[in-house]
Amino acid sequence: MTLRLAKPFTITATAIALCLGGAASAQDMSDYTVMFEALPAMPPIPSGTTMSTERIDLGRMLFFEPRISASGVISCATCHNPALGWTDRIPRATGHDGQVGDRNTPTVLNSGFLGAQFWDGREPDLEGQALGPIQAEIEMNMTLVEAIDRLNEFEVYRDAFSAAFPGDPDPVNPPNVALAIAAFERTLNTPNSPFDRFLMGDEMAMTEQQQNGMRLFVDNGCVACHNGPILSDSNFHRFELPGSTDEGRFLVTGDEHDRFAFRTPTLRNVAVTYPYFNNGSVADLRDAVNLMGQQMLGHDFEENELDDLVAFLDTLTGEMPHIEVPALP
Ligand code: HEC
Ligand code: HEC
């Protein structure tokens, strides 16, 4: 927007804001806020899925259930730990028999908003994702037949599956395990962060520095990939981490174009989901932002710019879901 003060001078709103040292006008700010979206309370629910209380409750039990792992001690919550931002805060996941995988554990918070699951996007949705870790040798190392047998041993589970899948004559089965876990995961959202409140019009929700970080984020092009409600385009971009041999999306498609490409992760709650990147090799958010600037934008940020960008990313930490830890049979 341009303001005509006195002919022949034309001064932009931003310039005035800078002179006054204050916040830019609401109109000017909308150039930035339009790139994002306040986090809705719920992600899109795929047609044909039911989000009944019974199904969500069953999914919560299964998420915390270690007996669907070969060792009997590893559950989804072992690596996606609610007390640690629903991740594990170690560089690469440690699963069955102490084996260390190749990749960092992403948070499951807001994962229902992602258009592709896993760093390489090999599953399109949460239902497709859920049975993978149970069977993965380095995660829970369990066959689905054994997992179903174990669940069937408990009357509590037989009843819970019947309640969650009414009319299904044999409800304790793998597709229903996936449906229940996915329903539960879709409730793990973190609305009402300072950024959301700012987007909804509360100008006091973000400090000057945080607002400046948001402008840097947009003006420098971070927003090209980190946009929308969870600041991810769910798309794949080449990113070569120093020392990493993980070929990312190429392992799924075999397409040369996808070599070393990874899905853009959400930046929601990024301040509490360290360490960063597909192999967890960067511990500090400031270093992660610096590397993004260099690799994705060919740009070296000044120290104060890095401070501002990190201050902005801090505003993306929302209200954690209030989950009751289930009492398992
Ligand atoms: C041993 C640790 C471990 C266990 C146990 C585990 N996960 Fe994960 N999870 C990971 C890792 C590591 C990834 C990323 C793997 C990849 O991208 O190749 C991941 C990815 C995911 C994702 C995708 C998130 C995203 O941003 O793409 C979801 C959702 C998820 N796990 C849910 C679950 C569920 C549900 C269970 C239990 C059935 C589970 N996980 C068990 C470590 C674990
Ligand atoms: C071309 C697309 C693109 C651009 C531009 C981009 N990013 Fe990223 N960003 C990604 C991808 C892809 C990853 C995942 C990389 C990996 O770990 O393999 C990522 C990862 C991150 C992470 C680590 C998140 C985590 O949980 O591990 C942060 C923080 C981040 N970006 C911030 C930024 C900032 C700040 C900018 C601007 C300076 C930026 N990004 C620009 C695509 C992009």
* Per-residue confidence (pLDDT) for residue 269, from 0 to 100: 98
Taking 70 as the pLDDT cut, the residues of the chain under it are 1-27
234 touches ligand 2 (CB under 6 Å): no
* Per-residue confidence (pLDDT) for residue 13, from 0 to 100: 40
| Nearest of 226, 61, 271 to residue 160 by alpha carbon | 61
Q: Which residues line ligand 1 (CB under 6 A)?
A: 74, 76, 78-80, 93, 95, 101, 103, 105-106, 108, 111, 114, 117-120, 126, 129-130, 133-134, 139-140, 181, 185
* Per-residue confidence (pLDDT) for residue 26, from 0 to 100: 64
> What is the separation of C-alpha 314 from the centre of its chain, rounded to a whole number of angstroms?
15
Rounded to the nearest whole angstrom, what is the distance from the C-alpha of residue 208 to the centroid of ligand 1?
37
Token pair for residue 52? 């009944």
* Angle ∠(271,272,274) on CA atoms, nearest 5: 85
205-264 confidence digits (pLDDT tens): 999 999 999 999 999 999 999 999 999 999 999 998 888 899 999 999 999 999 999 999
* Per-residue confidence (pLDDT) for residue 242, from 0 to 100: 83
Which ligand 1 atom lies nearest to the CA of residue 78? 5
Q: Please tell me the residue having the least CA distance from ligand 1 atom 20.
A: 118
* Per-residue confidence (pLDDT) for residue 24, from 0 to 100: 52
* Per-residue confidence (pLDDT) for residue 234, from 0 to 100: 96
Q: Please tell me the residue having the least CA distance from ligand 1 atom 9.
A: 105
Q: Is 139 a catalytic residue?
A: yes
* Per-residue confidence (pLDDT) for residue 243, from 0 to 100: 84
* Per-residue confidence (pLDDT) for residue 8, from 0 to 100: 36
Q: What phi-psi label fits residue 201: left (phi over 0), alpha (psi between -120 and 50 degrees) or beta?
A: left
* Per-residue confidence (pLDDT) for residue 12, from 0 to 100: 40
CA distances from 127 to 77, 160, 288, 327 (A): 17, 19, 31, 24
Neighbours of 321 (CB within 10 A): 14
| CA–CA distance, 128 with 125 (Å, rounded to integer) | 5
| CA–CA distance, 74 with 70 (Å, rounded to integer) | 8
| CA–CA distance, 16 with 135 (Å, rounded to integer) | 60
Q: What type of residue is 47?
A: S
Neighbours of 212 (CB within 10 A): 20
- Only one residue has tokens 């270093």, namely 287
Which ligand 2 atom lies nearest to the CA of residue 293? 38
292 touches ligand 2 (CB under 6 Å): yes
Token pair for residue 226? 């980190």
Q: Who's near 268: CB < 8 A, 6+ residues apart?
A: 39, 109, 110, 190, 193, 230, 231, 316, 317, 318
